Amino acid sequence: MARAAALKPDQVPAVSKPTLDMFTKNIGFTPNMMATFAQSPIAFNSWANLLGSLSKSLDVKTRDSIGLAVSEVNGCNYCLTVHSFTAEHMAKLPADDIILARKGHASDPKRDAAVQFARKVIETRGNVGDADLKTVRDAGYTDANVMEIIALVAMYSLTNFFNNVFDPEKDFPAVTPAGSI
């Protein structure tokens, strides 16, 4: 049961409305998470700016795989439904790769290094070892890319925490619980 109501269009604060309208136009509907998040123009617009900037980092398969790995660690069912859907339909990841990402891996060796590093960052709260950093660098990621991976972990954690706290109604098909995959 949702702990905060998704706003109706006439309830959206004026400062959140252009951002929410842009998402609605691009997605084709207004996700409940966004309609809830829009109650705070500062938090919502800051997140949207970060999302827009990070959408230019790495590649879509890596970004979605990181989103799946982080959401799994953070136990965010809402985000797992969203990222599973986008990974399949936008990133064109096969079902087996979606499951691998939820487990903190990828079939592509370079992407696997990024996903494992992202998972390590969230599990250790950033206290990764020298070997972890060496592994992701050896896979071909620059320090700038590593910073982008960390920023993606933080951004996905923000939405995970938001959705775990407010539990908006899910907009995308349910996914199999992690213990079953």
Asked if 155 contacts 128 with a C-beta cutoff of 8 angstroms, the reply is: no
> For 11-30, what is the mean pLDDT?
94
pLDDT at 9 over 60: yes
Contact of 100 with 106, CB cutoff 8 Å: yes
| Contacts for 27 with CB less than 8 Å, ≥ 6 apart | none
What type of residue is 81?
Answer: T
HSE, CB side, 13 Å, CA atoms: give it for residue 107.
8
What's the pLDDT tens digit per position in 147-166? 999 999 999 999 999 999 99
Separation between Cα atoms, residue 99 and residue 85, nearest integer Å: 12
How far apart (Å, rounded) are the C-alpha atoms in residues 48 and 11?
19
Angle at the Cα of 76 from the Cα atoms of 71 and 79, rounded to 5 degrees: 70
Tokens of 127: 């206290």
Per-chain mean pLDDT for the chain: 93
- Per-residue pLDDT tens for 80-98? 999 999 999 999 999 999 9
How much is the pLDDT for 176? Answer: 80
- CA-based radius of gyration for the chain: 16
Q: Going along the chain, which residue ranges are E strands?
A: none
